[in-house]
Chains A and B, each alone.
Chain A
Amino acid sequence: DAKTTQPPSMDCAEGRAANLPCNHSTISGNEYVYWYRQIHSQGPQYIIHGLKNNETNEMASLIITEDRKSSTLILPHATLRDTAVYYCIVRSGGTSYGKLTFGQGTILTVHP
């Protein structure tokens, strides 16, 4: 599985955009980048995923660099309820297709 590197923690002011970076320099051509978050021991929540192009949904935007070696998750207007651990995952292919390997993630704290 391609490894990901994320900062251990980040802060963001409420109402501002939160930009969470992820490095995945060993990603393969057919591997997707997925983002999940986990709010205080609840089940991880799917946010967004992408392959090459930038993606946007009602929760967030995902920007993937042209060389696909890094990506950024953007929460456009962070709220206190966005405080969570955010996981960037490169989804494995081959015979174990579908397995999501979680790393340590980034603890995002949104403050008033």
Chain B
Amino acid sequence: DSGVTQTPKHLITATGQRVTLRCSPRSGDLSVYWYQQSLDQGLQFLIQYYNGEERAKGNILERFSAQQFPDLHSELNLSSLELGDSALYFCASSVVLETEAFFGQGTRLTVV
């Protein structure tokens, strides 16, 4: 158990819908990262937050947005969902930017 908690574990939704994925980092960790893993793409970096501020952005679609709240938990919002958004979404956290990151068990999103 890495100490990073992601909810829900599984999510099935229809095209066009909007969902919110939640991540609780390890106690004391200030930085949160989001990754997407689909079958044909591998692990793709989406976005990183540090103490509530966005620090780095990867290949995140405009339909996706994220936020880190004052209590340091983070949410990834996915809207206008398409079949191709079906993937595993992982959250990771680290104490500060330059320390090792620990990953949660992921949310498996299926868009039908």
Query: For the complex, is A65 an interface residue (Cβ under 8 Å from B)?
Result: no
Give the contact-size bracket for chain A. 20 to 34
Q: Tally B residues with Cβ within 8 Å of A.
A: 28
Compute how far the CA of A101 lies from the CA of B58 in the bound complex, rounded to whole angstroms.
Answer: 10
* Closest residue on chain A to residue B90 by CB atoms: A43
Which A residue's beta carbon lies closest to that of B108?
A41
A45 to B48 Cα, complex, angstroms: 18
**Segment of A2-10, A69-77, A91-99 engaged in the interface with chain B:** A91-99
Q: How far is the CB of A63 from chain B (nearest CB, A)?
A: 18
Q: Are A96 and B56 in contact (CB under 8 A)?
A: yes
Contacts across chains A and B counted by CB atoms under 8 Å = 63
**Interface of chain A, helix or strand or loop or mixed?**
loop
Does B98 have its Cβ within 8 Å of any Cβ on chain A?
A: yes
List of A residues within 8 angstroms of B90 by Cβ: 43-44
Contact of B31 among A34, A98, A101, A102 (CB under 8 A): A98
> Once the chains bind, are A103 and B42 in contact (CB under 8 Å)?
yes
> Measured between C-beta atoms, what is the minimum distance from B97 to chain A in Å?
4
Whether A102 and B43, one on each chain, are in contact in the complex, defined by CB atoms closer than 8 angstroms, is: yes
- The residues in A between 58 and 112 inclusive whose CB is less than 8 angstroms from any CB of B are 87, 91, 95-104
Among A91, A99, A102, contact of B48 (Cβ-Cβ < 8 Å): A99
Tell me the bound Cα distance from A5 to B44 in angstroms.
Answer: 17
- Looking at A34, A44, A87, which has the most chain B CB atoms within 10 Å of its CB? A44
Q: Which residue of B lies closest to A103 (CB)?
A: B42
Binding site for A on B (CB under 8 A): 2, 4, 31, 33, 35, 37, 42-45, 48, 50, 55-56, 58, 88, 90, 92, 94, 97-98, 100-106
